[in-house]
Structure formats: C-alpha cells, structure tokens
Amino acid sequence: MLDLHDEICANVQRALQEDIGSGDLTASLIPVDKTLQATVISREDAVLCGMQWFEACFVSLAADTEIEWCAKDGDAIHAGQTLCKIKGNARALLTAERSALNFLQLLSAVATQTRRYADAVAGTRTVIVDTRKTLPGLRLAQKYAVTCGGGVNHRIGLYDGILIKENHIIAAGGIQPALSRAREIAPPGVFIQIEVESLQELQEALAAGAHMVLLDNFTLNQLADAVTLARKQAGKAVILEASGNITLDNLRQVAETGVDRISIGGLTKNIQAIDLSMRFAEPE
C-alpha cells in the first residue's frame, strides 16, 4: 500500500512553483475576490485517476475551494462525461487549472493503459506488473495509477527489492554466487528476483534456489518450456515473470503460456495524456 499524502503535497508544490514562479501575471487581471465555477469534461473514454493531486492543486491556493466529483479513481469514464464541478476563487482556479489537469490527464492515461493490459489477460493466472520506467519525480503517482487500472506494483525503487540482472550476474561471478550473496544481504521481507536469458540459465537459477525469476525476451515456446521446467523442478513456489518485446498484440499469448506475471514498461512511459477540458462559468 502506497503512502501518498506527503508525496502528493510534494508533487503539487513542485508543479505549482514551476508554473507560478514569482506570480501569475495573467490571473492578476481578475478581481481578487471574484468567484467562478467550472466543470471538467472528458473528451474520450478512459479510466479516471489523480483526484487527490487535482484537488490539492486548487486547495493549496484557496482552502475553501469546493469540488464535487461525479466519478472516482479507477472508474471507467466516457467521452462527454462530466467528471467534477468546482467552485472557488477565480484567481486560484485559473492559476491551478493547468497543473491540476496535467496530473489528472497523465495519471488517467497510466490507469487507462494499464486497464487495457489487465483486460487482455483476464481469465488467466497472469497479472500485469509495472517497472521503474517512470517519469522522474512522479514514480509513486504513476505506480498508484497502475493499481487504479488493475495492475500490480513491482518494487518501488532500488531499496525495497533485489533484482539481479545480467550485469549484476557478471560482476558477482555467476548466477549461484549472485543469489547466495543476495540472500546474505537482503533485509527481512525484501524479495530477491533474478533475470535469465535462456532455459539453461533458468535451470541454473532454479538449482541455486531462485524463487522469483524474470524471463527476459523469451519466445512463446521458450516461455511455455520455462513454465514446465520451473513447475517440475520447483513446483508452485517459483514465480515466473515475462518481460521484453511484449505488446497488446501478443500479450494474451504470453499470458497463456502460464507465467505468473508480465512486466510492461509501457504502462508508465510513452503514454499519451487523456484529453480533458475545464470549462468556466459565472456562479449560479
């Protein structure tokens, strides 16, 4: 479970500071005590995510801002749907508008992309997992969005899990020495995962006692063979994760090989923001 309160505050303060700087010059055209209302409309089908970041942008500038939501994080939304209604100080609404929408559009895009992948493997044993390929400074926000879309978080960073990749194996002197050393230094509760690039390496990792293996760039036939080998040698205790060259086009086939997890870097990178619009009006 991600603890987001401090992260949201930090994200929003950085976003507002870089946008406002020494002051919003254009907003100063508006009388200081003027009140406006606004609605946020979705222009496309999506999965909503980012409500807390959106709200914090406005409340940080005007604590008495009123926001009434018509949907919640994780909900499927549709083109033309009203997402929320806002009422508050006109200057605050205009100043926070861009930052608030940036968060909502970005995080909704991550949740939407994740939902596509999660739906594609529905009915199999496979879950969709994110990676560390996130936008700098927004990792927890994007990982939260992944969970709203039906995905599962991998390690948050380098500190809460051990993933032994090809270069680590080379530097440590091989698969067995790398796993042995990892078990020596791993804090309680920290998982150890090792990446392999062939069935021979998988067999070596299993023989060395690996419980969590990343199958990197395996073909469909190799993945099926890996599942058979792992179940025969280690039973259900070993967790197999597929990664590399996996798209929505071949995702279902990968899941049907029997792997436990598929990690997708594209959940949090190379995404297109959801098209949302904020429309202003005089208060009723």
Domain 4-118+271-281: give its CATH architecture: Alpha-Beta Complex (3.90)
40 sits in which H/E element: strand 35-42
Q: Supply the pTM of this predicted model.
A: 0.95
Per-residue pLDDT for 65 more than 60? yes
> Distance between CA 84 and CA 272 in Å, rounded?
22
Homologous superfamily, domain 119-269: Aldolase class I (3.20.20.70)
> Distance between CA 204 and CA 210 in Å, rounded?
9
Task: Give residue-wise pLDDT tens across range 15-33.
Answer: 999 999 999 999 999 999 9
Task: Give residue-wise pLDDT tens across range 153-181.
Answer: 999 999 999 999 999 999 999 999 999 99
Burial 225-264 (b: 16+ CB within 10 A, else e): ebbebbeeebeeebbbbbbeebeeeebeebbbbbbbbbbb
Q: N- to C-terminal Cα distance for the chain? A: 41
Q: What share of the chain in percent tops pLDDT 90?
A: 95
pLDDT band at 240 (very low <50, low <70, confident <90, very high): very high
pLDDT band at 1 (very low <50, low <70, confident <90, very high): low
Per-residue pLDDT for 14 more than 60? yes
Which residues are identified as catalytic?
Answer: 98, 133, 165, 195, 216
pLDDT band at 34 (very low <50, low <70, confident <90, very high): very high
Instruction: Assign 200 to helix, strand or coil.
Output: helix
pLDDT band at 233 (very low <50, low <70, confident <90, very high): confident
Domain boundaries, the chain: 4-118+271-281, 119-269
Q: Quick one: which of 38, 45, 43 has its CA closest to 80? A: 43
